[in-house]
Chain A
Amino acid sequence: EVQLVESGGGLVQPGRSLRLSCAASGFTFDDYAMHWVRQAPGKGLDWVSSISWNSGSIDYADSVKGRFTISRDNAKNSLYLQMNSLRAEDTALYYCAKEGTGTTGTHYFDYWGQGTLVTVSS
């Protein structure tokens, strides 16, 4: 059974840093790209960042570029998101999501964690 368990969220002041973790199990972690997706309270889904299986390809939403860093440790089956210079608008539930790939090359999020809440407030 695929499991994704996020941790590291909490209340942080604007301008400070936080590091999120996602522990993966139930699949061969280093075979798949992974993503972070966030959801502000009462709002929709917002893709944040992605990392390929070997960390060779990394991408960010413009809203977090230069402030957030995604990484992974395949030996530990873990995904991370280092968040620096946090802003009030970064307040959200942060989901870790596994990328699936269809036979025609399409991509999707086939498994999601339960999320970890990040609140940025003074």
Chain B
Amino acid sequence: DIQMTQSPSSLSASVGDRVTITCRASQGISRYLNWYQQKAGKAPKLLIYAASSLQSGVPSRFSGSASGTDFTLTISSLQPEDFATYYCQQSYSTPWTFGQGTKVEIK
């Protein structure tokens, strides 16, 4: 199985901050990497697919990038509604696996 390792597991940030979350795959997954946002008590929501494609309706402050087996989700200017847990997920091969999540909290 492909292991997805996210870092950090949590972070504290202020409104307006630039936030970066990293996800590393245990083997090459091309660009088959997706990012989701999950707010407390809610279902996950797709933010980014194919490493850097923005899902329709998602604000442009969210962006994704890839370099080899390392993937990054960036929030350019953190907004109050962005405090949530973020997950990466690979769809290169089954079982589709998720990172352990990164909780973004208010500083």
Contacts and interface: CB of A to CB of B under 8 A. Distances in A.
Interface centre among A95, A104, A108, A110 (most CB of B within 10 A): A108
B95 A44 contact: no
A108 B50 CA distance: 8
Contacts of A112: 43-45
Interface string A37-73: 0000000111100100000000101100000000000
Chain B: interface size category? 20 to 34
Interface string A79-122: 00000000000000001000010101011111011110000000
Contacts of A100: 46, 49
B50 A110 contact: no
B87 A106 contact: no
Interface residues of A, number: 22
Interface of B: 31-32, 34, 36, 38, 42-46, 49-50, 53, 55, 87, 89, 91, 94-101
